[in-house]
Amino acid sequence: MAPLPHVVVVGCGLGGLATGIALKLTGGFEVTLLEASRELGDIGAGIQVSPNCSRLLIRWGCEKYLRDTVVLPKYGRVVRWQNGKVLTQAPMMPLIEQKFGFPHWNVHRGDLHNALRQRLEDMGVTIRCNAKVVDADLRAASVTLHSGEQIPCDFIVGADGIRSAMRDILFGQEDSVPPQATGDYCYRFTCNIEDMTQDPALAHLADVAMATGWWGPEKHVVGYKLRGETMYNVVTVFPDDGSMEYQYKTAGELSHLRELYRDWCPEYDFLSASCSVI
């Protein structure tokens, strides 16, 4: 029997791992995943997984790794930035699953990433860390690692993110379009649900699983539970006024965050007072 075509996936983020699972489940490929980092880490924060995505994760057999960590939001709510007045509210779960056949999940990126990794390991797919791709032969189909090792294959999939080496290799650095600033920044942080239950201003957010959006002039804030309802995830979005240097990721300044939202409702004051900003 002829050997299966060998696919090398460059990058082991969510996209790379998902690609590896989808390819392996076809039964028609040998798959190797390459990750530049020395290990796969627990990074990021909250992700809202809608039914068009959860149906794939369930089909791929990843649900068993997520069952204890996903949160099923009962409804979504939009509130006024100044006083927290509810502007609109809509049911989410279980209505979403009843309507579309698959659930809506709130999940920590690290938990989703770990579930994809575990599924790949169960299928016997090779994941190589500390394997940074520095070059590729796009005609002969091979990649070269920073160690000098060459890995021949039949297909190469570039899934190495916003700072993609494969993009530069494919288009050339002169013609490769770098990431473009969106005109917005965001701070993100998490709070301990148990701590929130002790504060009158926040207890209602800790009580029921829901997605809350605070809408205000030129800014908005989104918050929801993660990790089996033990963690509260907050993302704040605000316009780029030219005062911050563009970076892909940097540590945040709590004083800057509080100044941006100084006139917002008491809920947000309490949240930002006890957070760790990233």
Contact present, 11 and 35 (Cβ < 8 Å): yes
Boundaries of CATH 3.50.50.60 in the chain? 1-40+129-179
pLDDT in tens, 240-257: 876 666 555 666 678 888
pTM attached to this predicted model? 0.89
Contact present, 29 and 7 (Cβ < 8 Å): yes
Amino acid at 201: A
Question: In the chain, how many H helices and how many E strands?
Answer: 10, 16
Query: If one looks up domain 53-107+181-278 in CATH, what number appears?
Result: 3.30.9.30
My answer on whether omega of the bond before 152 falls inside 30° of 0, hence cis, is no
Boundaries of CATH 3.30.9.30 in the chain? 53-107+181-278
Contact present, 87 and 80 (Cβ < 8 Å): yes
Q: Does domain 1-40+129-179 have CATH number 1.10.3720.10?
A: no
233: alpha, beta or left? (left if phi > 0; alpha if psi -120 to 50): beta
Q: CA of 108: how far to CAs of 14, 46, 47, 105, in Å?
A: 12, 5, 6, 10
- 278 residues of the chain, pLDDT tens digit each: 678 899 999 999 999 999 999 999 998 899 999 999 888 776 778 999 999 999 999 999 999 999 999 999 999 999 999 888 999 999 999 999 999 999 999 999 999 999 999 999 999 998 999 999 999 988 889 999 999 999 999 999 999 888 888 888 888 766 667 777 778 888 888 889 998 888 888 888 889 999 999 999 999 999 999 999 999 999 999 998 766 665 556 666 788 888 888 888 876 555 555 454 44
